[in-house]
A and B are shown apart, each in its own frame.
Chain A
Amino acid sequence: DTAVSQTPKYLVTQMGNDKSIKCEQNLGHDTMYWYKQDSKKFLKIMFSYNNKELIINETVPNRFSPKSPDKAHLNLHINSLELGDSAVYFCASSQGGQGYGYTFGSGTRLTVV
């Protein structure tokens, strides 16, 4: 009974393709996030949604577009994939935004070839 589930776990695709990653949480949390973890394990926030409203939009290329159809779901669509997009993308959720109750998904490992 996974709390935060992401699909797919692995994604290998060619440059220029468009792909989506889906995230769902069953914790009843009101805030969801997308984080990117690079090869050096550095976790950087990309987006944050609170009650379906976009709260944080860091300096992320326009090719990345999040969508939150409801509080329990946050998807990430990436257009025109580039080699530099290769990373592990983590979805997380929390109640409120203070960061002390984040629950992370197991990650989506994206490889662009």
Chain B
Amino acid sequence: QKEVEQDPGPLSVPEGAIVSLNCTYSNSAFQYFMWYRQYSRKGPELLMYTYSSGNKEDGRFTAQVDKSSKYISLFIRDSQPSDSATYLCAMSLNTGGFKTIFGAGTRLFVKA
């Protein structure tokens, strides 16, 4: 079993839809949870991060962490064609980690 599981998709939605992206993980020691966005032929860019459990909102993006279920989500409201990219979840330990584990990434297409 991989430490981080993420459905690779692809996920295709119409413009304006609410998108839900998810990851599950097995290591209960993870404390930092991140979402990265990667456009084609580019490096990943940090979208959001959350420490421990809870929700975090930034514009059209909401990140949720449920540590009891080992489950994290990213919601995108009013999705735009420019949101079409691969979204990677990532997580790391609390201290001395220096190692972030990435999910396989979910490819998202938002159709105009």
Question: Which residues in A have some Cβ–Cβ distance to B below 8 Å?
Answer: 4, 31, 35, 40-45, 48, 50, 55-56, 90, 92, 97-107
Judging by beta carbons under 8 Å apart, are B97 and A99 in contact?
yes
Judging by beta carbons under 8 Å apart, are A41 and B105 in contact?
yes
Judging by beta carbons under 8 Å apart, are A99 and B34 in contact?
yes
Give bound CA distance, A98 to B38, whole Å: 20
Query: How many interface residues does B have (CB within 8 Å)?
Result: 29
Judging by beta carbons under 8 Å apart, are A97 and B99 in contact?
yes
Q: Beyond A100-B51, A104-B43, A106-B41, list 20 extra A-B contacts (CB 8 Å).
A: A31-B98, A40-B8, A40-B104, A41-B105, A41-B107, A42-B102, A45-B99, A45-B101, A55-B98, A56-B98, A97-B96, A97-B98, A98-B97, A99-B97, A100-B32, A100-B34, A100-B46, A101-B46, A102-B44, A107-B43
